[in-house]
Amino acid sequence: MEGKQLDLFEGVLLTADQQEKVNTYIENCKKNSEFIQKQHLNIVGLLLMNGFCKDVHFEESCKTTIETRTVRLGYTYNKTDFETEVTAEYSQSDIRLLGKSFDSYKGELKSSKFYFDVERDKIRCGSITEQYRYVKPRTLLEKLKQHNENAVYRFEEHQKQTNLEKSVIEKYTKLYPNATVIAKDDWSKYSGSYRVVEVKFESGSYIQFKLDIYNLKEYEYKKYDAEFEKLTTEELLDRFSKQ
C-alpha cells in the first residue's frame, strides 16, 4: 500500500500522484472562489460609485458553498485520468441590470434583467445599447434609463392604440350593425406597417380608417364603392355629366 491513500468517498485507494492532483484541484477551486468573490465586490463597487442603485438599477448575489462533487482528473492521452469525489469551495456571482421591456406581440410591459460584461472600468451590455461595445458606467446608466423610458413609452402608445381601436370598432358596429367592422394590418412603402379599422358592407363596399392616437380620433384613409366599380365607361361618363 506504500505511496497510496484511501479515498474516503469512494472507498478506493488513490496513488500519491492522484492525491496530489486532488489537492491541486481543491487549491485551484479555493483560488477561483476567492477570485469570483473579489471580482463580484469590485463590480458592485463600480456600479455604486457611478450612480447605480441596488434593487433599482441592478441586483446582485454571490453564493459561496462547500460541495462534494464527482470530478475527473488527469489526462486520457497518458492514461492518468481518474474519477473521484472531491469536497471543495465554489463561488457563484450573479449581477444583472434591471429594466423594462415592451413585448409588442403580447402588448405587455415586462420587468427584465440584462447580463453585462466588465472590462477594467467600462461596461458592455448589448441589450440596452445600440452598439455592442464597452462604455463608461455613467453612460450605460443613462442608456439604461433611456431604454426603460422608451419601453414605457411604447407600452403607453400601444395602450392608446388598442383603446382607440376598440372604441372606433364599437362606434361603427352600433351605427352599421349589418356591416363587418374589424381592425387589420396594412402596409405602405413610406409608413411601414400600421393598423386600420375597416367597415365593410355585404355589397363589398368598404371604408377604412387610420387611427390618430394623439388626437384620439379616426380619419378616412381608403374607400371602395363596389357598385361604382361595376359601371361601364359610358355609365360613368353619363354619371359624371350630371354632377
pLDDT in tens, 89-140: 999 999 999 999 999 889 999 999 999 999 999 999 999 998 889 999 999 9
Cell of 105: 406581440
- How does pLDDT run along the chain (243 residues), one tens digit per residue? 334 445 455 556 889 999 999 999 999 999 999 999 999 999 999 999 999 999 999 999 999 999 999 999 999 999 899 999 999 999 999 999 999 999 988 999 999 999 999 999 999 999 999 888 999 999 999 999 999 999 999 999 999 999 999 999 999 999 999 999 999 999 888 878 889 999 999 999 999 999 998 899 999 999 999 988 888 888 888 888 888
CA 132, CA 68: separation in Å to the nearest integer?
A: 39
Q: What is the pLDDT of residue 11?
A: 56
Report how far Cα 202 is from the mean position of its chain's Cα atoms: 44
Cα diameter, the chain: 119
Q: What is the pLDDT of residue 10?
A: 52
CA 133, CA 124: separation in Å to the nearest integer?
A: 5
Q: What is the dihedral of CA 127, 133, 135, 137, to 10 degrees?
A: 40
Contacts for 221 with CB less than 8 Å, ≥ 6 apart: 196, 208, 209, 210
Q: What is the pLDDT of residue 231?
A: 85
- The answer to whether the beta carbons of residues 44 and 116 sit under 8 Å apart is no
* 0.85 exceeded by pTM: no
* DSSP for residue 80: -
Neighbours of 217 (CB within 10 A): 12
User: Does the CA dihedral 36-41-44-46 come out positive or negative?
Assistant: negative
* DSSP for residue 133: S
Place of cell 431604454: 147
Q: What is the pLDDT of residue 30?
A: 97
Nearest partner of 100 among 109, 89, 90, judged by Cα: 109
Place of cell 383603446: 163
- Give residue 115's identity as a one-letter amino acid code: Y
